[in-house]
Amino acid sequence: MNLLPHIEKFRHRFAELETALSDPKVFDNPQRAQELSREYSRLKELIAVGDSYKKTLADLEENRSLLKNESSDLEMAQMARDEIARLEAEEKKLSQQIQFGLVPPNRTDSRNTIIEIRAGAGGSESALFAADLYRMYSRYAEAHGWKIESMDSSPSDLGGFKEIVFSVMGTDVFKRLKYESGVHRVQRVPATEAQGRIHTSTATVAVLPEAEEVDIEIKPEDIEINRCRASGKGGQGVNTTDSAVQIQHKPSGLIVRCADERSQHKNREKAMKVLRSRLLEAKTAEENAKYAAHRKQQVGTGERNEKIRTYNFPQNRVTDHRIELTLYNLANVIEGEIDPLIDPLMTNDMEEKLAALKL
């Protein structure tokens, strides 16, 4: 693929955005201004990559010419070969970045994210696994400088979670974490197992981009709000007042509960945030279903019945079934080092989207 014309298109669009953002009137619509600013930043990076790509092509041509003309000088020829090998690897990397830049970005990629983890098959062991996943994502978020805020949880007797809902706030949160949606399976010897037998348990993870009010309109008459006392272990300040809030969305039947704040008003705000995000997920899933028949594979679509990953503790192995990737560093993964899983998933996703463009 000749990428040079595409680089010039990036440059042309970048100039248009510079002109648009220099007009104070564009900021009368904050959402539009934010969208243009994100596109501006994205294109600025792509143009820098494009400039590096063009310089790499020129350097390659120069070294190939040098190799051809200095073939009799063994030392110079070897230096040229080494430099050509380095430049070819650089060209491949930059070429991929530019090609991925041709794929229109998902408008939800830059949004904050709500994650819901629920214990599945396996009883108390699945609740403990849900807690492990929560810690894994918490440490991953911390490593990326993201902020985590708890929204609701239902602890289990042995210290795990039957369910936990939390938000993750930061740059490109949904862009990276959206691939975590699905069924996670664990194979290990539970702490409660006396005979050392390996058990298989599951937990489901739902990753929802935080919905904005313009995405989903919720009419006051469509919701029923109930106040209740938060459940949980005694002695927690949150349990001393009827501060928990439960909201039912009548048209969809969705029920959302939030009890992590002492303020009923704050719990209501959080519950509405979760409700909007769930409704947005349902709307997006419905739209995606229309085109699913034309897609060879769905990676990170949020299908909750899709077994996406297995964590095998006896073998220190983690396998992502969507791209048939197996790593033998489970100890690091469960401690939050999940980029070696997420990066290949992102690359695979972008390659499929790029192929679908048929450029």
- Tens digit of pLDDT for each residue in 53-85? 999 999 999 999 988 887 677 888 888 899 999
298 Ramachandran zone, left/alpha/beta (phi>0; psi -120 to 50): beta
Looking at every residue in the chain, the average pLDDT score rounds to 86
What is the reported pLDDT for 305? 53
Which pairs from 337-342 meet CB under 8 Å and 24+ separation? Answer: 337/140, 337/143, 338/136, 338/140, 341/309, 342/176, 342/177, 342/179
Does position 279 have pLDDT exceeding 90, yes or no?
no
The average pLDDT across 168-196 equals 88
Separation of alpha carbons 341 and 110, rounded Å: 20
Task: Identify the pLDDT of residue 239.
Answer: 45
The pLDDT, as a whole number, for residue 280 is 83
C-beta of residue 7 within 8 angstroms of C-beta of residue 53 = yes
pLDDT at 238: 43
Cα first-last separation, the chain: 8
Higher pLDDT, 344 or 67: 344
As a whole-number percent, the residues of the chain with pLDDT over 90 amount to 53
Measured between alpha carbons, how far is 312 from 165 in angstroms, rounded to an integer? 25
pLDDT of 300 reads 41
Q: Quick check: 95 pLDDT over 90?
A: yes
* Confidence bin at 237 (pLDDT 50/70/90): very low
Average pLDDT for residues 209-217, to the nearest whole number?
74
Give the pLDDT of residue 288. 63
Report pTM: 0.76
- What local confidence, expressed as pLDDT, does residue 292 receive? 47
Which residues does 7 contact at the CB level (< 8 Å), separation at least 6?
46, 47, 50, 53, 54, 98
Residue-level pLDDT at 328: 97
Instruction: Please give the pLDDT value at position 67.
Output: 86
Average pLDDT of span 7-21: 96
Residue-level pLDDT at 306: 67
Question: Does residue 89 surpass a pLDDT of 90?
Answer: yes
